Structure 1
Amino acid sequence: MSLNGILLTLTLLVTSNITLAQTNCINQLADLSYIMKSKQQGLLRFESSRLATDFSYQTDLAFSDYLAFAYQYILAKNPRASMPCPILTDTYQHLVKQQQRTSTPNIVDLIAPFELRQNNNHKAVLLIHGLTDSPFTYHDLAQIYFQQGYTVRTLLLPGHGTAADALSNINAKQWQQATAYAIKRTVKDFDQVILGGYSTSAALLLNYLTVQPVDSKIKALMLFSPATEPHNKNGWLAKWIDRIPFINWIDKDADIDFAKYESFPFNAATAADDAMHSIALSTLIKRPLPNLPIFSVMSDVDTTIDTRASLQLLTALHDVKARPANRLDTLVYYGDATKITRDFPDDYTLLNPQCKSSTCKNIHGISHIAVVNSPNNPYYGIADVYRNCGSYLDDDALYKLCKTTKTPNIGERTAENIAAFPTFQRLTYNPYFTEQAHYIKQFIKQVEGFQGNQ
């Protein structure tokens, strides 16, 4: 190579390194040209490594061993794991104080499973995320439990935390195995345990609690946008479509969201459908739930999960004669309460918050993905750092407009909303989060009081 060629190569390397150093997860969100290129070419859709190593999920392995493994796993396989990401949630700052994270986070630091530790306490909550998500899902909710004196543990489901293509190689049994490990290990480490599941993981928890004897240390179950049945009743077809050569994806997006996948392979739909099928009403009738109170949160216009099916499930599980703890069962329902099915139990505690501030007046329905995030979340919150524009994957012009408009319309992406507004951004935060936090604290106090009277 000539001297000029060597100098040119060195210049390109230096320039590339400077560009990389200046790029972070927030700057990428503002780079529309990169977003469109990534959407079209799948730049972030595939793992950076095909390492076969996996965690054994043996109960005798300490949770700290699991956390260390998961962190390194993400670091090895996520193409942006080492990218700076200046998102400082309250939970992240707690992890820094506990010397579990550095003060300047990279993406891996934010999406890896974590444990917010109390000093010498005996109670814990285990929180498990949903399909395509990561433990970042719980950065806001974790604070509520931590403030109530609970150690907070989270789990990374297999196929998550790296790149969307990883979901092409997993199944519901792997999720169930990871869930069982996390529950058994937490029960082994603490005297009182609350289980919390969002979306698909709600189905995983319900399945676990109804297939085997459950340790009496588990005191309550909390479900956020629980996955019971999808709106699309043809989910079972996904496994057959996935076998057709070169037809692997339901959605192909930019995957610019550092905390969850935006692209969606057919196999992921297959695994989710299997998880939901495991808690079908016809099945649960033969496998009764233990004597645990249930706290649930759902929206009337959820376009991911059939809310009517979720209400039917809660109705079937609510038997105060068979399970006295059921008198504490609580439902936080966002939307029109008159749409709740007539056979829903009269003695169920129903909480239906109404809009009282400007935060929610211009929001058109609470979305499936919104319930877990605070408006103060520095990424998904009202500051509008990240925008979910998945309604326009097939229309680049509207997709770009959704990403850039100064006056987006937000809410759940119902057909009516998409037709009514020129661009529609899916709501990523819960305008009622403060009220929801109060309901959670109230429920926990009732659970602790109920157990104290046993």
Structure 2
Amino acid sequence: MTVNPLATPLSLPARPELTGGRPLGVLLLHGFSGSPASMKPWAHALAERGYAVEVPLLPGHGTRWQDLNKVAWTDWYAEADGALDRLRASTEAVVVGALSMGGSVALRLAEERGSDVAGLVLVNPFVSSTRTELKALPVLKRVVPSLKGVVNDIKKPGQDEVGYPRLPLRGLAAVLEMWQSVVPDLPKVTQPLLYFRSSVDHVIDPSSSPTVLGAVSSRDVEERILADSFHVATLDNDAPRIFEESAEFVARVTAS
């Protein structure tokens, strides 16, 4: 299994001299059929502020689309859980940021790991859908391995999330299976939450926003609309805003 060099994971060390003498960390999780390439500019922007950053490659990604039909959502969670452990071992506090499907994994970490997650930054999280065609997925995945992909929904020219050109249907079914565990437990989420949502998104419908914001128990919650970006907003025109505002959020929620 060969990983695309542009999709490799990323680990950046903390620089406590930039964060008040305290080592602090951020875990960033990419989306379904995407790769760490969608998160690396964000990672470097946070590292410049002194934060340790981990961007894992979630299983089934960064190789061939067929590999995404061979994994379970628990494999993605296990990889993220391990990355969180690594950060917690070397830092005093960790915030989890995520894009799209990575948002479901991030929410599961918040549900399961409690105080190990100091806060959440979600960018167009994929946690629910109103698309009726998904009802056929349990049957369709058995006869059709993939459909045309939905990679690079980016308004800004020249950007590439290094994702798959095909949409693996067994892998997509695993996303829906993850929702069955994540969504009922959303009231367990109590951490501060910063939620970015693109006003135009060609990949997911708006239903994830009320699903998450209407169910979490967090008292510190804010939704911010991205007016100049599509789904992969971390590589789009609003990316500098995401980087700046998320860095401010991390500083605030990890303050002593």
The TM-score bracket by the shorter chain reads: 0.7 to 0.9
User: Could you tell me how far apart the structure 1 residues matched to 2:47 and 2:117 are?
Assistant: 17
Q: Which residue of 1 aligns with 2:213?
A: 314
Q: Please list, as runs of the form range in 1=range in 2, the aligned pairs for 1:292-371 lying within 5 A after superposition.
A: 292-320=191-219, 326=220, 329-335=221-227, 366-369=229-232, 371=233
1:155, distance to aligned residue in structure 2 (A): 0.7
Instruction: Find the partner of 1:442 among 241, 248, 254.
Output: 248
- Once the two structures are TM-superposed, the CA of residue 157 in structure 1 deviates from its matched residue by 0.7
CA distance in 1, matches of 2:197, 2:9: 24
- The aligned runs of 1:252-291 (5 Å cut-off) are 259-280=162-183, 283-284=184-185, 287-290=187-190
Larger radius of gyration: 1
Q: Deviations over 1:276-330 (max 9, x none)?
A: 33222xx126x5113x11111111332322223313421321553xxxxx2xx22
- Which residue in the other structure is 2:25 paired with? 124
Question: In structure 2, what is the equivalent of residue 420 of structure 1?
Answer: none
Give the match's secondary structure for 1:170: coil
**What is the letter of the counterpart of residue 27 of structure 2?**
L
Give the Cα separation in 2 of the matches to 1:203 and 1:254: 18
Q: How far apart are the structure 2 equivalents of 1:437 and 1:113?
A: 19
| Structure 1 position 147, deviation (Å) | 2.2
1:139-188 residue CA offsets vs partner (Å, 9 max, x unmatched)? 21112211221011111111011111111211212112222222223222
SS at match of 1:272: helix
Q: Report the AA paired with residue 288 of structure 1.
A: K
Letter aligned with residue 34 of structure 2: D
TM-score (norm 2): 0.84
1:115/1:309 CA distance change after superposition, 3 Å: closer
The percent of aligned pairs where both chains have the same amino acid is 21
Match of 1:197 in 2: 98
Distance (Å, rounded) in 1 between the aligned partners of 2:25 and 2:176: 29
Query: Partner amino acid for 1:232?
Result: R
| 1:222 positional shift | 0.9
Question: 2-side partners of 1:309 and 1:258: how far apart?
Answer: 22
> What residue identity is the alignment partner of 2:141?
D
Q: Distance in 2 between matches of 1:228 and 1:437?
A: 22
- Does the 8 A contact of 1:197 with 1:223 survive in 2? yes
Q: 1:254 to 1:332 in 2, by over 3 A?
A: closer
Change (3 A) 1:319 1:181: closer
Equivalents in 1 of 2:199, 2:161: separation in Å? 28
Structure 1 residues 306, 116: CA separation in 2 closer, same or farther (over 3 Å shift)?
Answer: same
Instruction: Report 1:5-404 matches (<5 A).
Output: 76-78=1-3, 81=4, 108=5, 110-119=6-15, 122-210=23-111, 212-214=112-114, 216-244=115-143, 247-251=144-148, 259-280=162-183, 283-284=184-185, 287-290=187-190, 292-320=191-219, 326=220, 329-335=221-227, 366-369=229-232, 371-373=233-235
Matching residue of 1:381: none
1:319 and 1:157 mapped to 2: Cα distance?
Answer: 27
Task: Tell me if structure 1 keeps the 8 A contact 2:30–2:36.
Answer: yes
2:239 equivalent in structure 1: 433
How far residue 117 of structure 1 moved from its aligned partner, in angstroms, is: 1.8
Q: Which aligned runs of 4 or more in structure 1 are off by greater than 4 angstroms?
A: 252-255
Unaligned runs of 5+ in 1: 1-75, 82-107, 321-325, 336-359, 361-365, 374-428
CA 1:441–1:181: 2 relative to 1, 3 Å: closer
Count of residues in Structure 1 that have an aligned counterpart in Structure 2:
244
Note the aligned Cα RMSD (angstroms): 2.5
- Structure 1 CA distance, aligned partners of 2:78 and 2:28? 15
Residues 182-241 of structure 1: CA deviation (Å, up to 9, x unaligned)? 22232223211111111111101212322x352x34311111111111342442432321
Structure 1 residues 273 and 228, CA gap change in structure 2 (3 angstroms): same
Cα contact 1:236–1:273 (8 A) shared by 2 = no
